Amino acid sequence: MSHYVAVKTVFKDQAALVQALEDVFGQGKVEISTDGAALFGYQGDNRSLLPASNGHYAPPCHVIVRQQNTGVGASNDLGWCRQADGTFRSYISAYDNGALRNSLPQLAQRYARAVAVKQAKLSGYTVTEEKAKDGTIKLSLSKWGG
């Protein structure tokens, strides 16, 4: 049968997340920390030392874009922390969510594109890509004899 399905994207592929962040913020702007590194706020404050109940608290994160590398005047470092289930949780301040309102949707799109292309190739598909005027990316997957 044929079908269509909507998929809610979840960040769980670190390499694709880093690729997407580099697409948005530029090559060399993304920091990776195996054990997790602190995020710093606009006053240089270590956000992992704040009480967890504080709205500005952020745990050490495994994928980081420092505020000076965002290029759009973010006030705090942006972080993605790997959870026990392997997914990444974003730590982006409310202020920066506003400052990055154009970049964050783009990040989700670039991540989904990276994951879809990677998985399609692993599954043996040939991928062609088009971009519509409204910014939608269309990937067409076909397989010889399939």
Partner 1 sequence: MKKIEIKIDAAGEVKIEAIGYTDGSCLAATKAIEDALGVAGERVRKAEAYQVGTGEKVKAGK
Provide the binding-site residues for partner 1, judged by CB under 8 A.
1-10, 12-13, 105-109, 111-113, 115-116, 118-120, 122-123, 125, 134-143, 146
CB of 16 to partner 1, least distance (A): 9
As given in the structure block, the two tokens for residue 104 are 């964050």
Which residue, 53 or 138, is less far from partner 1 as judged by CB?
138
Which residue, 46 or 143, is less far from partner 1 as judged by CB?
143
Which residue, 83 or 140, is less far from partner 1 as judged by CB?
140
Which residue, 53 or 133, is less far from partner 1 as judged by CB?
133
Which residue, 18 or 137, is less far from partner 1 as judged by CB?
137
78 within 8 A of 96, measured Cβ to Cβ = yes
Burial class from Cβ neighbours inside 10 Å (0-12, 13-18, 19+) for residue 133 reads: exposed
| Pairwise CA distance, residues 2 & 68, whole Å | 47
CB of 102 to partner 1, least distance (A): 10
CB of 77 to partner 1, least distance (A): 22
As given in the structure block, the two tokens for residue 118 are 């990677």
CB of 2 to partner 1, least distance (A): 5
Burial class from Cβ neighbours inside 10 Å (0-12, 13-18, 19+) for residue 111 reads: buried
CB of 98 to partner 1, least distance (A): 16
Residue 63 bridge partners (DSSP): 32, 80
Q: Tell me, what amino acid is at 145?
A: G
